[in-house]
Amino acid sequence: MKAVFKRGSRFFAVVSLLVALFANGALANTNNGTEISAPVMSGYDPVAYFEAGKPVRGNGYHTATYNGGTYLFETKEHKEAFNANPKKYAPQFGGYCAYGVAVGKKFYSDPTVWKIINRKLYLNLDTNIQAKWNKKMKAYISKAHSNWEGIEHKHPSEL
């Protein structure tokens, strides 16, 4: 009986430790601070911006992962196009607001506030931020790309 209790106690301790680590996010797999369970771009299909010229919601039937994030697609063809060349379709800065990255922050973006510049998809926080971003877009894009290396793997709350 004593051996069973010790073995059970060890098992309980390990399970308790794992539960505590998961609850605190220490073992949660993240993509630039975004939990994998939350789809990148709030579930919008990144290929649709290029093919349909507008934001279109993806669905759970057609999914792919890239850089640790889960993407949803409207069609099997969009998923296949993305898998063939994810760099072509994935939003810049992991889907975070392009203006936010330019100022050294990670703001969650609104996938309906977007622009394709030089065949790259950029998202913004909202239309007010996009209006500001549009005024100096080239400079903000340059600054965002230089900032991204330093903040890419940081959680938004760390910035």
pLDDT lower than 50: segments of the chain: 1-6, 9-31, 33-36
Separation between Cα atoms, residue 157 and residue 35, nearest integer Å: 13
Separation between Cα atoms, residue 45 and residue 63, nearest integer Å: 9
Report pLDDT digits (tens) over 62-106.
999 999 899 999 999 999 999 999 999 999 999 999 999 999 999
Containing 124, the helix (H) or strand (E) segment is strand 120-124
- pLDDT confidence of residue 20: 40
Q: Are 58 and 43 in contact (CB under 8 A)?
A: yes
Closest to 96 in 3D by CA, of 67, 54, 138, 58: 67
- pLDDT confidence of residue 27: 40
